[in-house]
Structure 1
Amino acid sequence: MSITIHEEYVITLLKKLLDTPSPSGYTHHVMQIIEDEADKLGVPFERNAKGGGILRLQGEDHLSPLCLSAHVDTLGAIVRSVTSRGTLAITSVGGFMMHSIENEYCQIHTRDGRTYTGTILSTHPSVHVYSDAREFPRQEKNMEVRIDELVETKDDVLKLGINNGDFISFDARAVVTKSGFIKSRHIDDKASVAALFGLLESSKREGWIPKRDLVLLISNYEEVGHGAAFIPEGIREMIAVDMGCIGDDLSCKETDVSICAKDSSGPYDYDMTSKLIELAKRENIPYAVDIYPQYGSDASAALRAGHNIRAALIGPGVHASHAMERTTKQAVVNTARLLGAYVGA
Structure 2
Amino acid sequence: MTIPFAPQLDRAYMLSQLETLLNIPSPSGYCMEIMKYLEEEARRLGYAIEITPKGNGIITIPGRQSDKVIGLTAHLDTLGAMVRSINPCGTLRFTPIGGYAMHTVEGEYARIHTRDGRTYEGTVLSTKASVHVFKDAGEWKREEANMEIRVDETVKSKSDTAALGIAVGDFISWEPRTRILPNGWVKSRHLDDKASVAALLGLMEWLKREGRTPAHSLKLIFSTYEEVGHGSSYIPADITEMIAVDMGAIGDDLSTTEQDVSICAKDSSGPYDYQMTSRLIELAKRDKLAYAVDIYPYYGSDASAALRGGSNIRAALIGPGVHASHGMERTHADAIVNTAALLLAYVME
TM interval, shorter chain, is over 0.9
Shift in Å, 1:63: 3.3
Letter of the 1:251 counterpart: S
* Residues 202-229 of structure 1 deviation map (CA, whole Å, 9 limit, x = unaligned): 0010111100100000000000000010
2:132 matched residue in structure 1: 128
1:75 matched residue in structure 2: 79
Quote the RMSD (CA, aligned, Å): 0.6
Give yes or no for the alignment of 1:51 onto 2:50.
no
* Structure 2: runs of 5+ lacking an equivalent: none
Letter of the 2:306 counterpart: A
Structure 1 distance, partners of 2:52, 2:287, is 35
Contact persistence 2:237–2:311 (CA under 8 A): no
Moved over 6 A (4+): none
| 1:190-269 pair list within 5 angstroms | 190-269=194-273
Letter of the 1:81 counterpart: S
Structure 2 distance, partners of 1:10, 1:133, is 42
Shift in Å, 1:180: 0.9
| 1:161-180 pair list within 5 angstroms | 161-180=165-184
1:185 matched residue in structure 2: 189
Report the TM-score when normalising by structure 2. Answer: 0.98
Structure 2 distance, partners of 1:144, 1:53, is 34
Matched residue SS, 2:106: coil
* Residues 264-284 of structure 1 deviation map (CA, whole Å, 9 limit, x = unaligned): 110000000000000001111
* Structure 1: runs of 5+ lacking an equivalent: none
Structure 2 distance, partners of 1:333, 1:249, is 24
Report the TM-score when normalising by structure 1. Answer: 0.99
Shift in Å, 1:20: 0.5
| 1:143-162 pair list within 5 angstroms | 143-162=147-166
Matched residue SS, 1:30: helix
Letter of the 1:232 counterpart: P
Structure 2 distance, partners of 1:18, 1:103, is 19
Match of 2:32 among 12, 28, 44: 28
Contact persistence 2:17–2:198 (CA under 8 A): yes
Structure 2 distance, partners of 1:262, 1:242, is 13
Aligned length: 345
1:40 matched residue in structure 2: 44
Give yes or no for the alignment of 1:280 onto 2:287.
no
* Residues 153-186 of structure 1 deviation map (CA, whole Å, 9 limit, x = unaligned): 0000010000000000000011001221000000
Structure 1 distance, partners of 2:305, 2:117, is 31
Shift in Å, 1:64: 1.0
| 1:294-333 pair list within 5 angstroms | 294-333=298-337
Shift in Å, 1:49: 1.0
Letter of the 1:245 counterpart: A
Give yes or no for the alignment of 1:64 onto 2:68.
yes
Structure 1 distance, partners of 2:191, 2:275, is 28
Structure 2 distance, partners of 1:21, 1:103, is 18
Matched residue SS, 1:172: coil
2:17 matched residue in structure 1: 13
Matched residue SS, 1:196: helix
Matched residue SS, 1:59: coil
Letter of the 1:236 counterpart: T
Structure 2 distance, partners of 1:300, 1:171, is 29
Give yes or no for the alignment of 1:141 onto 2:145.
yes
Letter of the 1:302 counterpart: A
Structure 2 distance, partners of 1:253, 1:14, is 19
Shift in Å, 1:295: 0.2
* Residues 79-105 of structure 1 deviation map (CA, whole Å, 9 limit, x = unaligned): 000010000000000000100000000
Match of 1:334 among 330, 335, 338: 338
Matched residue SS, 2:154: coil
Letter of the 2:203 counterpart: L
Shift in Å, 1:62: 2.5
Shift in Å, 1:53: 0.4
* Residues 316-338 of structure 1 deviation map (CA, whole Å, 9 limit, x = unaligned): 00000000000000000110000
Q: Percent identity over the alignment?
A: 60
Shift in Å, 1:343: 0.2
Matched residue SS, 1:238: strand
Shift in Å, 1:233: 1.6
Contact persistence 2:75–2:225 (CA under 8 A): yes
Structure 1 distance, partners of 2:65, 2:297, is 35
